[in-house]
Amino acid sequence: MSQVYFDNAATTAIRPEVLERMIEVMREVPGNPSSTHAVGRKAKSIIEQARKTIAGYLHVTPAEIVFTSGGTEADNLIINSAVRDLGVRHIITSPIEHHAVIHVVEHLQLAYDIKVSHVNIKECGSVDLEHLAQLLEASDEKTLISLMHINNEIGNMLDLETVAKLAKEHNALFHSDMVQSVGHFDLNLSEIPVDFIAAAAHKFHGPKGVGFAFLRKNSKIKSLIFGGGQERGSRAGTEPVHNIAGMETALIKAQEHLAEERAYIEEIKWYFKEQLEQHIPDVHFNGNCGDGTKSTYTLLNVCLPVPEDKALMLLFQLDLKGIACSKGSACQSGSDQGSHVLNAFLAKDKLNKPSIRFSFSHENTKEEVDYVVATLKDFIA
């Protein structure tokens, strides 16, 4: 095969309908949405309709959706403003968060001298909710909980309802990076009292460079970027109308085909797992990714029985064979450092072996799975 793309957790291919919509907007709607003339008003109406559509799928109000350049900016906007503007003096997070959260928390700890607590991680890679409750009980300062819904490397799912309940009981704010879940799950934020979420269009077959933050009504989050008064003062800068329209179309299509595509992708995932177990003895699945009830259906993080001296060549060989995958998150796949997620809970004997993240979409096939398994089998042999 010339190309097998099993790195959908890093980014997904744009759906044809999304690309068509973006080209249509770029061709027919040249106006600046801040302009008051008819051409500008048309651009503005596209943005507001997209805001209404996205809010509808999340069961929130359009005013609670703020468009950003992606998930990283949304995370930064929320966490920075929580400390700078909302009086947060204590952040409770985990060592397995995305670096968009980890690094901004590290910065705020130095810049504002805030307290940072890390929730313990269980042997399966999940957040210890009992420890979270203990940290909240001991906290006597205004607290922000920042825990991702679906881990981007191992697929473990957070119990949002329980965390939101704990946050409410202890008068804490709750932020969740939902980059890996928006567009892949039905999310009703009217029933889950999370205060803030971050999302990115390119994770659900939309364009790169656009995403959104959900800011619960009356949260008083203030802009991270200064300039014009766009996004009701929450995010300055001329909005990329074509990208926002593309994100809207991507979410519409994701929700329309959610049930059928989820069933198809789950079939691909479990077929891949079965084939690995059948053809590669001693294969191990990191975290809860091998459990259909505790992880997302879109990825497998696989620890392979390869000696350390040979492990360095694995991704190179897969790439030569046209197979795209990651040794961790895409943000780390070019680094010599190991995955901070796996380092947080894996035993040393597993850390010395290569772990590869394979992530799937509706465009993948069982034939591609067979090719990847055969390639891995040959390499190990």
Location of structure tokens 């006597």: 140
SS3 33: coil
What are the E-state strand segments in the chain? 4-5, 65-68, 90-93, 115-118, 143-146, 173-177, 196-200, 211-215, 284-285, 299-303, 323-324, 355-359
Residue 325 is a catalytic residue:
no
Location of structure tokens 């991704």: 315
Q: What is the DSSP letter of 336?
A: S
Tokens coding 222: 């203030």
Catalytic one of 289, 303, 325, 331: 331
Tokens coding 133: 């409750």
Q: What CA–CA distances, in Å, run from 156 to 64, 187, 295, 300?
A: 27, 17, 4, 10
Q: Are strands 196-200 and 211-215 parallel, antiparallel or unpaired?
A: antiparallel
What does R_g of the chain's alpha carbons equal in angstroms?
Answer: 21
Q: In whole angstroms, what is the distance from residue 342 CA to residue 153 CA?
A: 8
Q: Tell whether the torsion through CA atoms of 40, 197, 341 and 285 is positive or negative.
A: negative
List, by residue number, the catalytic residues. 331
